[in-house]
Amino acid sequence: MQIRFFLSMKKKEFVKKKKKIILSRIKDFFSDEYGGNLIEYALLIGLALFIFFIIVGVMTSLLDWPLDLANNFWEDFGALLKN
């Protein structure tokens, strides 16, 4: 019984130490002396998303263009189509 209690105390101490280390690292990340880490990361991610959506938009318009031409192929030559 004492061994189980001792092991559970070791686990609790281990968790407390790790929690303290993680919290200190998070605190250091948010409040470093260089400043602006989060802002820089947010701007980089925003810029990457912006460029990604521009590329996706251009690619979809490029893929839509030949389909539109194929659908209106005969109408462009003035052919009368019967339904």
pTM tops 0.85: no
pLDDT digits (tens, 9 = 90+) for 44-63: 999 999 999 999 999 998 88
Residue 30 predicted with pLDDT over 70:
yes
Q: In the chain, what's the furthest Cα-to-Cα distance?
A: 94
pLDDT digits (tens, 9 = 90+) for 1-26: 555 655 566 777 888 888 999 999 88
Could you tell me where the DSSP H helices lie in the chain?
2-30, 37-71, 73-76
